[in-house]
């Protein structure tokens, strides 16, 4: 039987949040790219929560944008509510989160892909990898069609052998009843790839008309919306927003869950795979936080044109009747009508320690993977990896050095380093606590950190690069200027201080010192700073942060310096760990399996102790001395 054969530079398998970024990046770098999806109607689908961003995930979106990705622009165009979180804390943990109109989000991304030069989106299930002598050669679809390519990016999300479960109901399907991809796993295994099975879950969607909002707290968006993308005009995102609603579970809810826990597939043993500890189901929360008498439930709209509401915080895989019973105990949900049941989903993913920090498989040249297939969870985590995998697939075809971000450069660097190093046994979620140098990795300075890298890769144009450079030159100049401004004890100064609830001055001081007071800021002291130039909000914000937190920033930079020292100690790729006397057996095995590229990476492998690292250091040192 004759089969179709086509040739491309890059094949992307999957068109979820990872696949979209990978395909766009590759095509935008000028490579002929084909992106496969099981359904063209599910491009950039948000099958779980209806929002983008949130604590630390907002950082990821900002970074994706600074590198030239699409997610930030897409949500700026389709959000229905936006909020900067954690503003009571320091700028390091401020995070932007926006509620999306799910269908709009998906449609806009689809249109972006479909209109992208060098990119074809193809609906077909990829069944097989073509690998020859450790080098990827393309893919085959279920129909037997062959798509040859120099690089392949796997972004299969939760679709590999997907199975959805609630109570004792289980069926082989992807999210929202979409077709699973049931063939590709075998091909991965055949090519020596270690596969594991993870689980995640989603709460029920309910009918807006069945909710009594009067029993809930209304959650508004910010009055002044800040866009995700550094390129989005601020004025364009000031628009009417919808509200979310907050209510709580109670003892009655928890009792129903406890009484029926044996019917939960998680506890009855139907589900063996590992779920995300940091995005737990309501069953997990009730068991884990037994002392808490209530848990938050956020009621979030799924879009302008639907009555479906998402029950944030109550994901579950309980049987239908238990779901109904427990939801109805929640104030405001007494008469709730479920539109879609909560369910858990199981899927195949890979052990990401098989990947280099470039997201290329160590053993198969030209094969990359990004997103939930790497064991992560979340749209933003997926998009970030998809972008890096897509960029590096393209760079590998162009025979250029890969883009690798380290832990001191970006949350994306932390995310990827954790995934390829730590062998996490559950879906990995980004969190601010995972980033050691978060005061440097703020969401507000992602452009300063990463635009230049996006530019070097080729995803950021000259104009945007110039603008970023100009912005930070202005910041630098203004910081210098403010340092030289002295403030006396004039009536005007004292009056401004009084108004801000700040102690009056007894002697003159520098403006920079005043800004450091917690109740004051660069912006608040405009009145007493006569020669202040007119500056954009974003510039003023940077000046404020820089001056206010100078001491902490410089201390964190010192930590980074120390970190870099171990990071720059490269381990030879063919090092024979068995020959190193003094390494514990467990450490030897872990190191030999993972083959870290640096002492720094080696030090983060679980099961490798600081003493092992000292041994490794001493041994490498001795080796190089003896020649």
Q: Is 292 in the site for other proteins (CB under 8 A)?
A: yes
- Segment contacting other proteins by CB under 8 A, of 69-77, 150-158, 376-384, 615-623: 615-623
Spell out the residues 6+ positions from residue 70 whose beta carbon is closer than 8 angstroms to its own.
20, 21, 24, 64, 109, 112
Alpha carbon dihedral 382, 383, 389, 392, in 10-degree steps, equals -160
Nearer to other proteins, 484 or 518 (CB): 518
Q: Is 500 in the site for other proteins (CB under 8 A)?
A: no
Q: Which of 61, 93, 160, 496 binds other proteins (CB under 8 A)?
A: 93
Min separation Cβ 336 and other proteins, Å: 22
CB 323 within 8 A of CB 166: yes
CA atoms within 13 A on the CB side of 368: 36
E strand intervals along 211-323? 217-219, 244-248, 296-301, 308-312
- Segment contacting other proteins by CB under 8 A, of 28-36, 100-108, 473-481, 514-522: 514-522
Q: Is 615 in the site for other proteins (CB under 8 A)?
A: yes
Min separation Cβ 627 and other proteins, Å: 13
- Segment contacting other proteins by CB under 8 A, of 316-324, 452-460, 528-536, 561-569: 561-569
Alpha carbon dihedral 326, 329, 334, 339, in 10-degree steps, equals -20
Q: Which of 26, 49, 56, 424 binds other proteins (CB under 8 A)?
A: 56
Q: Is 249 in the site for other proteins (CB under 8 A)?
A: no
Alpha carbon dihedral 543, 544, 547, 548, in 10-degree steps, equals -160
Spell out the residues 6+ positions from residue 92 whose beta carbon is closer than 8 angstroms to its own.
432, 438, 439, 441, 442
Instruction: Give the separation between CA 94 and CA 224, rounded to whole angstroms.
Output: 15
Nearer to other proteins, 466 or 586 (CB): 586
Residue with token string 């030069």 = 117
Chain positions 431 to 450 lying near other proteins, rule: CB under 8 A, are 431-433, 436, 438-439
Regarding beta strands 151-154 and 486-487, do their DSSP bridges make them parallel or antiparallel, or are they unpaired?
A: unpaired
Q: How many residues does the chain have?
A: 627
Q: Is 557 in the site for other proteins (CB under 8 A)?
A: no
268: three-class secondary structure by DSSP: helix
DSSP 178: P
Q: Which of 92, 119, 127, 322 binds other proteins (CB under 8 A)?
A: 92
Nearer to other proteins, 311 or 403 (CB): 311
Chain positions 108 to 167 lying near other proteins, rule: CB under 8 A, are none
Instruction: Give the separation between CA 492 and CA 522, rounded to whole angstroms.
Output: 16
Q: Is 277 in the site for other proteins (CB under 8 A)?
A: no
Chain centroid to Cα 547, Å, comes to 29
Nearer to other proteins, 320 or 550 (CB): 550
Q: Which of 559, 575, 595, 604 binds other proteins (CB under 8 A)?
A: 559
Min separation Cβ 609 and other proteins, Å: 8
Nearer to other proteins, 120 or 287 (CB): 287
CB 247 within 8 A of CB 297: yes
Nearer to other proteins, 14 or 312 (CB): 312
Min separation Cβ 57 and other proteins, Å: 11
Min separation Cβ 442 and other proteins, Å: 11
Chain centroid to Cα 85, Å, comes to 16
CB 10 within 8 A of CB 24: no
CB 58 within 8 A of CB 112: no
Q: Is 296 in the site for other proteins (CB under 8 A)?
A: yes
Nearer to other proteins, 245 or 455 (CB): 245
Q: Which of 90, 331, 402, 458 binds other proteins (CB under 8 A)?
A: 90
Task: Read off the tokens for 606.
Answer: 């679980």
Query: Which positions lie near other proteins, rule CB under 8 A?
Result: 55-56, 86, 88-90, 92-93, 278, 289, 292, 295-296, 431-433, 436, 438-439, 516, 518-519, 549, 552, 555-556, 559, 562, 565-566, 569, 581-582, 584, 599, 603, 610-611, 613-615, 617-619, 621
């Amino acid at each position: 039987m004759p089969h179709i054969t086509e040739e491309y530079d890059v094949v992307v398998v999957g068109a979820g949040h990872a696949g979209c970024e990978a395909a766009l990046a590759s095509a935008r770098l000028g490579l002929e790219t084909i992106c496969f999806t099981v359904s063209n109607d599910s491009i950039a689908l948000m099958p779980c929560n209806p929002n983008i961003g949130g604590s630390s995930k907002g950082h990821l979106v900002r970074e994706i944008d600074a590198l030239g990705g699409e997610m930030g622009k897409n949500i700026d165009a389709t959000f229905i509510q936006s909020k900067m979180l954690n503003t009571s804390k320091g700028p390091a943990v401020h995070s932007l989160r926006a509620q999306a109109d799910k269908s709009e989000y998906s449609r806009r991304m689809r249109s972006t892909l479909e209109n992208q030069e060098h990119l074809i989106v193809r609906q077909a299930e990829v069944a097989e990898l073509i690998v020859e002598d450790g080098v990827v050669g393309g893919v085959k679809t279920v129909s037997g069609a062959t798509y040859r390519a120099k690089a392949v990016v796997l972004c299969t999300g939760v679709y590999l052998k997907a199975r959805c479960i609630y109570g004792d109901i289980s069926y082989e399907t992807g999210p929202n009843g979409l077709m699973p991809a049931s063939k590709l796993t075998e091909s991965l295994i055949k090519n020596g790839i270690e596969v594991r099975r993870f689980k995640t879950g989603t709460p029920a969607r309910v009918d807006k008309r069945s909710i009594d909002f009067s029993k809930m707290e209304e959650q508004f968006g910010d009055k002044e919306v800040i866009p995700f993308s550094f390129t989005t005009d601020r004025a364009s995102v000031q628009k009417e927003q919808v509200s979310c609603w907050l209510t709580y579970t109670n003892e009655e809810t928890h009792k129903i869950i406890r009484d029926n826990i044996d019917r939960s597939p998680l506890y009855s043993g139907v589900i063996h795979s590992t779920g995300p500890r940091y995005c737990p189901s309501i069953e997990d929360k009730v068991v884990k936080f037994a002392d808490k008498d209530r848990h938050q439930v956020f009621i979030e709209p799924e879009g302008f044109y639907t009555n479906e509401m998402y029950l944030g915080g109550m994901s579950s895989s309980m049987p239908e009747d238990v779901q109904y019973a427990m939801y109805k105990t929640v104030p405001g949900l007494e008469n709730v009508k479920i539109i879609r049941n909560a369910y858990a989903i199981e899927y195949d993913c890979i052990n990401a320690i098989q990947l280099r920090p470039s997201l290329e498989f160590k053993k198969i040249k030209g094969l990359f993977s990004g997103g939930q297939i790497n064991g992560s969870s979340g749209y933003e985590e997926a998009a970030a990896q998809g972008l890096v995998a897509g960029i590096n697939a393209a760079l590998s075809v162009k025979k250029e050095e890969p883009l690798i971000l380290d832990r001191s450069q970006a949350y994306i660097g932390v995310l990827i380093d954790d995934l390829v190093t730590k062998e996490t046994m559950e879906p990995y979620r980004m969190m601010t606590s995972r980033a050691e140098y978060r005061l440097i990795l703020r969401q507000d300075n992602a452009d300063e950190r990463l635009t230049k890298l996006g530019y070097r890769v080729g995803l950021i144009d000259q104009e945007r690069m110039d603008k970023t450079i100009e912005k930070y030159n202005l910041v630098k100049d203004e910081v210098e200027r403010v340092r030289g401004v002295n403030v006396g004890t004039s009536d005007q100064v004292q009056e401004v201080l009084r108004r801000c609830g700040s102690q009056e001055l007894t002697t003159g001081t520098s403006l920079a010192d005043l800004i450091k007071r917690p109740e004051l800021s660069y912006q608040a002291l405009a009145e007493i700073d006569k020669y202040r130039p007119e500056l954009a909000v974003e510039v003023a914000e940077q000046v404020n942060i820089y001056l206010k937190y100078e001491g902490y920033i410089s201390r964190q930079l010192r930590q980074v310096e120390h970190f870099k020292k171990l990071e720059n100690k490269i381990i030879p790729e063919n090092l024979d760990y068995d020959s190193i006397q003094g390494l514990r057996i467990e450490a030897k095995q872990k190191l030999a399996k993972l083959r870290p590229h640096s002492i720094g990476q080696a030090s983060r492998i679980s099961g490798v102790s600081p003493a092992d690292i000292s041994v490794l250091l001493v041994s490498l040192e001795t080796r190089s001395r003896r020649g």
